[in-house]
Structure 1
Amino acid sequence: MIKGIGNYKFVSGAEEKVVRVFEAPLSFLKTLSHAVLQKSGFDDLHDVQILGANMSALGLSQKPIYVHAASEVSHRVKDEVLDSLEIIPDAMPVVLNQPPVEDQLAWHTLWPESHKLYGHGNELFSLCCDHEGKLVASSCKAQSVAVAEIWLWEVGSWKVVGRLQSHSLTVTKLEFSHDDNFLLAVSRDRQFSVFAIKKYGDEVSHQLITKQEAHKRIIWTCSWNPFCHQFATGSRDKTIKIWAVDRSTSSVKQISSFPAFKDSVTALSWLGLDRSSNTGILAVGMDSGLIELWTVSGGINLSSPFIASVSFRFDPYLSHVSTVHRLAWSSDNAGDWKTVKLASCGGDNCVRVFEVRVS
Structure 2
Amino acid sequence: MVQGKGNHRFVSGAEEKVVRVFEAPLSFLKTLRHTCAGGEGSFPEELQADVQVLGANMSALGLSQKPIYLHSSSEPLERNGGGEGLDTFETVPEAAPAELKEPPIEDQLAFHTLWPESHKLYGHGNELFSLCCDHNGSLIASSCKAQSAAMAEIWLWEVGTWKAVCRLQSHSLTVTHLEFSYDDTLLLSVCRDRHFSVFSIQRTDSGEVSHKLMAKVEAHKRIIWACSWNPFGHQFATSSRDKTVKIWSIEKDARIKQVLALPQFGSSVTAVAWTGLDHEEKSGCIAVGMESGLIELWNIKIKETEEEGTTATAALALRMEPFMCHVSAVNRLAWRPTEKSESNQSLLRLTSCGDDNCVRVFDFKF
What are the ranges of 5 or more consecutive residues in structure 2 without an aligned counterpart?
77-86
Match of 1:17 in 2: 17
Quick one: which of 342, 352, 355 aligns to 2:360?
A: 352
* Amino acid aligned to 1:28: F
- Does the alignment pair 1:96 with 2:99? yes
Q: Secondary structure at the match of 1:317?
A: helix
Pairing partner for 2:228 from 197, 202, 223: 223
State the partner residue of 2:2.
2
Please list, as runs of the form range in 1=range in 2, the aligned pairs for 1:101-140 lying within 5 A after superposition: 101=104, 103=106, 104-140=108-144
Judging changes above 3 Å, is the alpha-carbon distance between structure 1 residues 36 and 236 closer, same or farther for their aligned structure 2 residues?
same
How many angstroms does 1:123 deviate by? Answer: 0.2
**Per-residue Cα deviation, 1:214-246 (whole angstroms, up to 9, x for no partner):** 000000000000000000000000000000012
Give ranges in structure 1 of 5+ residues lacking alignment. 74-82
Q: How far is the alpha carbon of 1:124 from its aligned partner?
A: 0.2
Separation in structure 2 between the aligned mates of residue 182 and residue 119 of structure 1, nearest angstrom: 23
User: 2 CA distance for matches of 1:146 and 1:307?
Assistant: 39
CA 1:113–1:256: 2 relative to 1, 3 Å? same
Query: Aligned partner of 2:349: which letter?
Result: K
Residue in structure 1 matched with residue 319 of structure 2 by the alignment: 313
The amino acid across from 1:98 in the alignment is K
Structure 2 CA distance for aligned equivalents of residues 3 and 303 of structure 1: 33
SS at match of 1:27: helix
Q: Say if 2:277 and 2:346, in contact at 8 Å, map to a contact too.
A: no
**Aligned AA (1:59):** G
1:330 to 332, 336, 343: 336
The alignment's C-alpha RMSD in Å is 2.3
Q: CA deviation at 1:86?
A: 3.1
SS, match of residue 331 in structure 1: strand
Mapped contact 1:145–1:169 kept (Cα < 8 A): yes
2:296 matched to 1:287? no
- How far 1:269 moved relative to its partner? 0.8
Residue 311 of structure 1 aligns to which amino acid in structure 2?
A
Cα deviation, 1:113-164, whole Å, max 9, x if unaligned, reads: 1111000000000000000001000000000000000000000001111000
Query: What number of residue pairs does the alignment pair up?
Result: 347
* TM-score normalized with structure 1 length: 0.90
Residue 7 of structure 1 and its aligned partner are, at CA, apart by 1.1
Asked if the contact 1:226–1:333 (Cα under 8 Å) also holds between the matched residues in 2, the reply is: no
Label 1:265 to 1:44 Cα distance change in 2 as closer, same or farther (>3 A): same
Report the counterpart of residue 196 of structure 2 in structure 1: 192
In structure 2, do the counterparts of structure 1 residues 40 and 233 end up closer, same or farther at CA, with 3 Å as the change threshold? farther
Corresponding position: 1:267 with 2:271: yes
Which residue is equivalent to 1:54?
57
What amino acid sits opposite 2:66 in the alignment? K
State the distance in 2 between where 1:304 and 1:110 align: 48
| Aligned pairs (5 A) from 1:201-220 | 201=205, 202-220=207-225
Aligned-partner Cα distance in 1 for 2:327–2:140: 32
TM-score, normalised by the number of residues in structure 2: 0.89
What's the counterpart of residue 237 of structure 1? 242
**What is the alpha-carbon distance in structure 2 between the residues aligned to residue 70 and residue 26 of structure 1?**
17
Which residue among 333, 338, 351 is the counterpart of 1:343? 351
Q: Aligned partners of 2:133 and 2:340: how far apart in 1?
A: 21
Going from structure 1 to structure 2, the CA distance change for 1:324 and 1:60 (only over 3 Å counts) comes to: same
Amino acid in the other structure paired with 2:153: E
Matched, 1:277 2:281: yes
**Residue identity matched to 1:32:** L
Aligned residue in 2 for 1:79: none
What one-letter code is carried by the residue in structure 2 that aligns with 1:230?
A: Q
**CA-to-partner distance for each residue in 1:142-194, whole Å, 9 max, x for gaps?**
00000000000000001111000000000000000000110000000000000
**Matched position secondary structure for 2:49:** helix
Aligned match of 2:82: none
| Cα contact 2:240–2:270 (8 A) shared by 1 | yes
1:337, distance to aligned residue in structure 2 (A): 5.1
